[in-house]
Chain A
């Protein structure tokens, strides 16, 4: 089956630093999604990308859909304590329909005081 390689696996940063994480795949996806998951909760959608080359921002978050359709990155600027959590990329073959998502293994973001 399809796999997403998400890196880094974990990040230890200082408050105020910028963060960058990415996902790559050996196969093409037509939708890329970025989610954040806090302990005991479900993934919460951060950014959705539907077009190759698309660059989208949501507050301090910016994500891009790679031009080859095989990668995506998420940047967080000026990190704050509430950014702590696990970030997941997810890809889907179609832009619509009920296709299931393929998830990366997550990036665990830890902010050191």
Chain B
């Protein structure tokens, strides 16, 4: 598609439950990125993929967060044993592989942990 599509738009989970978010990048884009935006509008980079391969995961809290981009499937971000502090909006972005290409963002998934 022409836009980054994220589902669901809203997700509510009880503390300790699992949360799974999905992202379909723009068709033809080889790079996928996940960001977390917390209440003060601050963006935190989590992880990036080049096709199905992890490129940079320096921002991922590795104990409970995991992500995948498998061929012919939406990319996913999964949080195990959610905590209250995981409440945030999670954005996915994608870009082309060629040089000097900006990242284009989806509209995010708002995750609320109760």
Q: List 27 A-B contacts (CB under 8 A).
A: A31-B100, A35-B105, A41-B108, A42-B4, A42-B106, A42-B107, A43-B105, A44-B105, A45-B103, A88-B43, A90-B43, A96-B97, A98-B31, A98-B48, A98-B49, A98-B55, A99-B56, A100-B48, A100-B58, A100-B59, A101-B43, A101-B103, A102-B45, A103-B42, A103-B43, A105-B40, A106-B41
Cα–Cα, bound, A69→B55 (Å): 25
Interface check B102, CB cutoff 8 A: yes
In the bound complex, do residue A96 and residue B100 qualify as a contact, i.e. CB atoms below 8 Å apart?
Answer: yes
Residue of B nearest to A86 (CB): B41
In the bound complex, do residue A45 and residue B43 qualify as a contact, i.e. CB atoms below 8 Å apart?
Answer: no
In the bound complex, do residue B56 and residue A45 qualify as a contact, i.e. CB atoms below 8 Å apart?
Answer: no
Knowing A48-B102, A98-B33, A100-B59, say if A42 contacts B108 (CB, 8 Å).
Answer: yes
Across the interface, which residues of B come within 8 angstroms of A90, CB to CB?
Answer: 43
In the bound complex, do residue B41 and residue A45 qualify as a contact, i.e. CB atoms below 8 Å apart?
Answer: no
Interface check B99, CB cutoff 8 A: yes
Knowing A101-B43, A102-B45, A103-B43, say if A96 contacts B98 (CB, 8 Å).
Answer: yes
Residue of A nearest to B41 (CB): A106
Chain A, 1-60, CB within 8 A of any chain B CB:
31, 33, 35, 37, 40-45, 48, 50
Known: A42-B105, A45-B102, A99-B56. 20 other contacts (CB 8 A): A40-B107, A41-B107, A42-B93, A50-B100, A88-B43, A90-B43, A95-B99, A96-B97, A97-B31, A98-B32, A98-B33, A98-B95, A99-B48, A99-B55, A100-B35, A101-B33, A102-B45, A103-B42, A103-B43, A105-B40
